[in-house]
């Protein structure tokens, strides 16, 4: 720190302290003045109260003058005290500034003395010592430079190794990522192939099941057609080659009641009656007869019987259902 800065610093400290002291003195003086004014106002109030309470008394002029003089002297005394305190503060401030300036001058003189002593000591060193010291300083500087160079080389080597390691790590991470992507791709392809194979198997199984169902349906249809054909052949054979019975069909009743009524009439005449249901009604027949001629004779007998009232009758060759 220079001497001027120290002087400024000390002066600032002194001024700050003086300002605080002056403010305290001024506040104290104001308080005293305020107290004196309060006393004066109190005396005036008392005097006014007394004059108000006793309006007949006259004011003592001498007493009033005396009080005014006392108040004036009190104010002058307070002002004089404040001026004295301010003068004392200025004196103390000047003393502090002088002390600070003297101290700064002493420090400056001591610093100059130390610098001169150091200069004289360096002037007394022999040239050989100066050369040796210069060489030592040079060697020291070279050693320090070599250390710095080695440190820089070491740092560069470490940085190079870190870069190489980072590059190797980056390549390893890239290779790992590619391997994982290839594995995922292979897994996805295998999964897709397996799914496609499963779908193909399901489609083939469905197609085979459909073909089997169609074959079974065709087989059943052919079997049904063969059965119907065999039954038709059997019926035709029975009609053509089976034991035929000659019957006289006398009526085709619309319902069972009518058929029973007709059958009762015929049975009452001694005829053997057979009823056979058909898709168009109930067939009522008389017989069987041993041949067509006998059946025709029976037909004529029935149609000629007025009590039966069956004018339409005809001969048929009939095969019972259990023989068809």
Question: In the sheet that 273-277 helps form, which strands lie side by side, from edge to edge?
Answer: 273-277, 282-289, 245-253, 314-318
Mean pLDDT of 152-171: 90
> What local confidence, expressed as pLDDT, does residue 246 receive?
92
Closest to 73 measured CA to CA, from 65, 62, 61: 65
Query: Residue 190 and residue 200: Cα distance in Å, rounded?
Result: 15
> pLDDT tens, 41-93?
554 554 554 444 444 444 578 888 888 888 888 888 888 888 888 888 888 88
Q: Delimit the domains of the chain by residue range.
A: 3-123, 242-323
Query: Residue 94 and residue 11: Cα distance in Å, rounded?
Result: 10
Q: Could you tell me what percent of the chain has a pLDDT over 90?
A: 35
Query: Residue 38 and residue 47: Cα distance in Å, rounded?
Result: 14
Lowest mean pLDDT among 119-133, 264-278, 298-312: 119-133
Mean pLDDT of 299-319: 88
Tell the CATH superfamily of the 242-323 domain.
Answer: Sporulation related repeat (3.30.70.1070)
Res 141 pLDDT > 90:
no
> pLDDT tens, 172-187?
999 999 999 999 999 9
> What local confidence, expressed as pLDDT, does residue 218 receive?
93
User: CB under 8 Å to 71, separation ≥6 — which residues?
Assistant: 36, 40
- Bond preceding residue 54 cis, omega within 30 of 0: no
Q: Are 285 and 249 in contact (CB under 8 A)?
A: yes
């Amino acid at each position: 720190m220079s001497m001027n800065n120290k002087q400024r610093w000390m002066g600032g400290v002194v001024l700050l302290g003086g300002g605080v002291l002056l403010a305290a003195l001024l506040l104290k003086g104001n308080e005293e003045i305020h107290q004196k004014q309060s006393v004066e106002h109190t005396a005036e109030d008392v005097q006014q109260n007394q004059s108000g309470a006793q309006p007949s008394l006259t004011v003592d002029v001498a007493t009033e003058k005396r009080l005014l003089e006392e108040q004036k002297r009190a104010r002058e005394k307070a002002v004089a005290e404040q001026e004295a305190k301010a003068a004392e503060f200025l004196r103390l401030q000047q003393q502090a500034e002088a002390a600070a300036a003297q101290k700064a001058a002493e420090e400056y003189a001591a610093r100059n003395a130390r610098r001169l002593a150091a200069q004289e000591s360096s002037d007394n060193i022999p040239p050989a010592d100066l050369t040796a010291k210069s060489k030592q300083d040079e060697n020291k500087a070279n050693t320090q430079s070599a250390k710095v160079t080695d440190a820089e080389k070491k740092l560069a080597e470490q940085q190079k190794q870190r870069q190489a390691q980072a590059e190797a790590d980056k390549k390893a991470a890239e290779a790992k990522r590619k391997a994982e992507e290839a594995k995922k791709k292979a897994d996805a392809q295998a999964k897709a192939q397996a799914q496609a194979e499963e779908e193909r198997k399901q489609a083939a199984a469905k197609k085979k099941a459909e073909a089997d169902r169609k074959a079974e349906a065709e087989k059943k249809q052919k079997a049904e057609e063969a059965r119907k054909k065999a039954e038709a052949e059997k019926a035709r054979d029975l009609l053509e080659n089976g034991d035929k019975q000659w019957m006289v069909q006398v009526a085709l009743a619309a319902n069972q009641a009518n058929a029973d009524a007709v059958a009762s009439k015929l049975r009452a005449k001694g005829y053997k009656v057979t009823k056979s249901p058909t898709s168009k009604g109930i067939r009522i027949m008389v017989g069987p007869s041993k041949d067509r001629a006998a059946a025709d004779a029976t037909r004529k007998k029935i149609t000629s019987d007025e009590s039966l009232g069956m004018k339409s009758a005809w001969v048929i060759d009939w095969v019972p259902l259990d023989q068809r």
